[in-house]
C-alpha cells in the first residue's frame, strides 16, 4: 500500500497526490511505482516499509506477504524490516542481481550499477553468499562500504521511519539516544530529537546544505522577498543565493555547520552536499560556526579568487568587502586560483588576506562586532532549543551556566528566579 508520497508520484502512469492520506492505493501484481520528483513510502506488510528515491521505478512482481518479489528498475530503494515473518520471503531483483532479505535490518538497493548495501541485517545473494552489516554486494563481488556516507534520500527514509514509529504511539527501533530527548536507530546510524520540528530540521540539514533556518528583517531568496520566519526552514538549492538587506539570516550548511549573514550580504550555494558544502560570499560579512557535531564535514568558502576550507571546529569571520578572514577558533586552509598547489594554513587569532598571498597577520580575538554578538545570541538560542546538535555549548561547573569556546559564557535565562511580588505594608 502506498502510505505516503512527496513530490510527483505515479502508479502505472496515474498520478498520486503528494502527501495525500485520503486515498492510499493498494498495489497489485505487476504494477510499477514511479517517483519522478520526490519520494514514496510503501508498506510491504505490518513490519516492513519500502521508500523510493527520486527518479526511481519500482515494479511489484508479487505482492503476497509470504512471497514478496520486487524489481528496482531505475534509481534507489531503501527497505526497513522490523520483524521477519516465519515462512515468508522478501526478494529484490536488480537486473542480473537478486537479493533475499533474511533478517531484520535496513537495506539500500541501487538499479545501476546493480548493488545492495546492508546497513544492518543480512541478505542472501546468488550462490548463497551472505552479505551482512557494513557490506555491499555487487555483481560477482562483496565488499565493505562506509556507513557514514549518506545522502538526502537516506536521511528522508530515516526521518520517515522515525515519524512512523512516533505515529504508532510507541518507539521500538528508535530508542533513547546518547543525549537527553534524543532517539537513535542502530540500523540507520542516525539520531533525531524527540521534538518533531527539530527532527525535520535535522533531516533537512543532514540531507542537503543551504537550509535557511532563521531570518530577521528583510532578505531576498532566489530573487523573492522574504520578511518572516513563517515558511522556514527552507532549502536554498544549488546555485541559488540569499541576500540580506535590512536583516540578518542563519543558514545551516549541514549538521553542526551554521553560517550567519550580516545585513547587506549575499551568500550563494555552489555545492549543496552536506558532507562537503561549498558556498560563495559575494558581498558583505558572514560568520561560520563549525561545531564538533559536524563530524568530518569540511565546508569551503569562496571569496573572490580564493577558496578556504574550514578544517576544524571553530568560529570563522569572512568579510568580502575587506577581503579578509578572521579565525576566532579552529584552523583553515586557503588557496588562490592562480596558485592552487600552495595553500595558506592559518589558525586561531590569525587573519588571512583573501585577495593576495601575503604573510599571515594576527588580531585580538577579544575584538567584537555586531554580527559576532548576534551570532552568539543565535548560537545559544539554538543550544537551548531541541536543535542543540547545531552548536557547541557545554555545561560548566556552575549551575545553569554554559560556555562556548569562542562566544564565552551564558546563563540559562529560564533558570533566573522570578522577582517576588512586593508586599503592601499594613
Task: Work out the number of other CB atoms within 10 angstroms of the CB of residue 416.
Answer: 9
2-152 and 203-371 share one fold: yes
Q: Where are the domains of the chain?
A: 2-152, 157-195, 203-371
Task: Work out the number of other CB atoms within 10 angstroms of the CB of residue 50.
Answer: 27
- What pLDDT was estimated at residue 149? 83
- What pLDDT was estimated at residue 127? 64
- What pLDDT was estimated at residue 423? 54
pTM of the model: 0.84
- What pLDDT was estimated at residue 134? 96
Distance CA 283, CA 220 (A): 13
- What pLDDT was estimated at residue 195? 85
Cα separation values, 363 from 277, 290, 313, 331, Å: 28, 20, 19, 15
**Cβ-based neighbours of 374, under 8 Å, separated by 6 or more:** 248, 260
- What pLDDT was estimated at residue 415? 58
Cell numbers for 412, please give them: 540559562
- What pLDDT was estimated at residue 418? 47
CATH of 2-152 given 2.40.50.140, 2.60.120.1440, 3.90.870.10, 3.60.110.10: 2.60.120.1440
Cell numbers for 96, please give them: 542480473
- What pLDDT was estimated at residue 196? 85
Assign domain 203-371 to its CATH architecture: Sandwich (2.60)
**Cβ-based neighbours of 25, under 8 Å, separated by 6 or more:** 1, 2, 11, 16
Cell numbers for 415, please give them: 533558570
Distance CA 292, CA 295 (A): 6
- Name the 3-class secondary structure at 28: coil
pLDDT tens, residue order, the chain (426 aa): 899 988 888 899 888 765 545 467 889 999 999 998 889 999 998 889 999 999 999 999 999 988 999 999 999 999 999 988 777 899 999 998 999 999 999 999 999 999 999 999 999 998 668 999 999 999 878 999 999 888 889 999 999 999 999 888 778 889 876 666 789 999 999 999 888 888 999 999 998 999 999 999 888 887 787 766 667 888 999 999 999 988 899 999 999 999 999 999 999 999 999 889 999 999 999 999 999 877 778 899 999 999 999 999 999 999 999 999 999 999 999 999 988 888 999 999 999 999 999 999 999 999 888 899 999 999 999 998 888 888 889 888 777 889 999 999 988 776 554 445 555 555
Amino acid at each position: 500500500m502506498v502510505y505516503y508520497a512527496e513530490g510527483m508520484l505515479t502508479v502505472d502512469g496515474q498520478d498520486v497526490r503528494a502527501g495525500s492520506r485520503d486515498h492510499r492505493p493498494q498495489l497489485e501484481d505487476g504494477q510499477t511505482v514511479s517517483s519522478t520528483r520526490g519520494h514514496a513510502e510503501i508498506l510491504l506488510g505490518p513490519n516492513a516499509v519500502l521508500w523510493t528515491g527520486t527518479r526511481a521505478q519500482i515494479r511489484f512482481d508479487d505482492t503476497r506477504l509470504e512471497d514478496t518479489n520486487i524489481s528496482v528498475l531505475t534509481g534507489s530503494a531503501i527497505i526497513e524490516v522490523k520483524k521477519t515473518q516465519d515462512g515468508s520471503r522478501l526478494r529484490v531483483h536488480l537486473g542480473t542481481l537478486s537479493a533475499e532479505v533474511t533478517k531484520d535490518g535496513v537495506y539500500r538497493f541501487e538499479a545501476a550499477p546493480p548493488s545492495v548495501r546492508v546497513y544492518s541485517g543480512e541478505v542472501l545473494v546468488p550462490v548463497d553468499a551472505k552479505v551482512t552489516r557494513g557490506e555491499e554486494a555487487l555483481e560477482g563481488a562483496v565488499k565493505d562500504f562506509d556507513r557514514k556516507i549518506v545522502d538526502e534520500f537516506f536521511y528522508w527514509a530515516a526521518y520517515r521511519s522515525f515519524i512512523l514509529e512516533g505515529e504508532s504511539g510507541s518507539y521500538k527501533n528508535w530508542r533513547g539516544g546518547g543525549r537527553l530527548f534524543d532517539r537513535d536507530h542502530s540500523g540507520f546510524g542516525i539520531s533525531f530529537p524527540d521534538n518533531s520540528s527539530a527532527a525535520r530540521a535535522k533531516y533537512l540539514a543532514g540531507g542537503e546544505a543551504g537550509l535557511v533556518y532563521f531570518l530577521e528583517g528583510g532578505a531576498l531568496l532566489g530573487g523573492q522577498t522574504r520578511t518572516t520566519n513563517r515558511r522556514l526552514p527552507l532549502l536554498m538549492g544549488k546555485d541559488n543565493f540569499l541576500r540580506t538587506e535590512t536583516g540578518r539570516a542563519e543558514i545551516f550548511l549541514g549538521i553542526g555547520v551554521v553560517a550567519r549573514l550580516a545585513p547587506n550580504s549575499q551568500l550563494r550555494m555552489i555545492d549543496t552536499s552536506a558532507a562537503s558544502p561549498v558556498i560563495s560570499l559575494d558581498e558583505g560579512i558572514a560568520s561560520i560556526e563549525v561545531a564538533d557535531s559536524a563530524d568530518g564535514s569540511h565546508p569551503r568558502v569562496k571569496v573572490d579568487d580564493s577558496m578556504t576550507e574550514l578544517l576544524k571546529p571553530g568560529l570563522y569571520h569572512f568579510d568580502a568587502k575587506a577581503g579578509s578572514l578572521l579565525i576566532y577558533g579552529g584552523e583553515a586552509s586557503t588557496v588562490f586560483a592562480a596558485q592552487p598547489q600552495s595553500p595558506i594554513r592559518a589558525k586561531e587569532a590569525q587573519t588571512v588576506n583573501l585577495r593576495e598571498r601575503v604573510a599571515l597577520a594576527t588580531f585580538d580575538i577579544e575584538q567584537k562586532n555586531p554580527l559576532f554578538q548576534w551570532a552568539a545570541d543565535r548560537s545559544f538560542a539554538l543550544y537551548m532549543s531541541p536543535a542543540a546538535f547545531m552548536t557547541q555549548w557545554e555545561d560548566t561547573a556552575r549551575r545553569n551556566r554554559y560556555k562556548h569556546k569562542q562566544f564565552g559564557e551564558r546563563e540559562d535565562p529560564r533558570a533566573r528566579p522570578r522577582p517576588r511580588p512586593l508586599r503592601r505594608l499594613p
